[in-house]
């Protein structure tokens, strides 16, 4: 059975957000995103895949379509396929997110 300690996998970079792959199969992937203050994942669109962000630590300002909302630990956000989405860390603290996407666009 594959398993991972998410807390031990946290890896922050000073130059840009860090994406740490946790699980990667054709049906989906699960990543850990680590954002220092001021870092962001610029709004973008995946036409054929849905993405879920789950806040583990810190607060993120999420763009989902025409909406923007700041959310903290325990909150999850769904970005359906075809909807613009992104996240920014506008705080002075680190932000850690679990990010799942299905189907996995890395597989044909």
- Dist CA 93 CA 82 (whole Å): 31
> Residue 84's closest CA among 104, 62, 103?
62
- Dihedrals φ, ψ of 49, to 5°? -145, 145
Identify the CA nearest to 78 among candidates 50, 46, 104.
50
Q: Give the pLDDT band (50/70/90) at residue 90.
A: very high
Under the banding of pLDDT at 50, 70 and 90, the label for residue 23 is very high
- Residue ranges per domain, the chain? 16-102
CATH class of 16-102: mainly beta
**Quick one: pLDDT band at residue 1, thresholds 50, 70, 90?**
confident
The predicted-structure confidence for 59-82, as pLDDT tens digits, reads as follows 999 999 999 999 999 999 999 999
Give the number of other Cβ atoms within 10 Å of residue 21's Cβ: 12
Peptide bond into 103 cis (omega under 30): yes
Is the pLDDT reported for residue 108 higher than 90? no
Beta strands in the chain (DSSP E): 18-25, 28-35, 40-44, 50-57, 60-64, 67-71, 76-79, 85-88, 95-102
Give this prediction's pTM: 0.94
């Amino acid at each position: 059975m594959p398993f991972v300690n998410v807390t031990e996998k946290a890896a922050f970079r000073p130059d840009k957000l860090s994406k740490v792959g946790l699980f990667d199969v054709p049906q989906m992937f699960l990543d850990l995103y680590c954002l220092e203050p001021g870092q962001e994942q610029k709004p973008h669109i995946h036409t054929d895949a849905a993405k879920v962000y789950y806040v583990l630590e810190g607060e993120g300002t999420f763009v989902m379509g025409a909406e923007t909302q700041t959310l903290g630990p325990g909150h999850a956000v769904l970005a359906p396929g075809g909807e613009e989405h992104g996240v920014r860390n506008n705080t002075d603290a680190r932000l850690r997110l679990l990010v799942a996407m299905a189907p996995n666009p890395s597989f044909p």
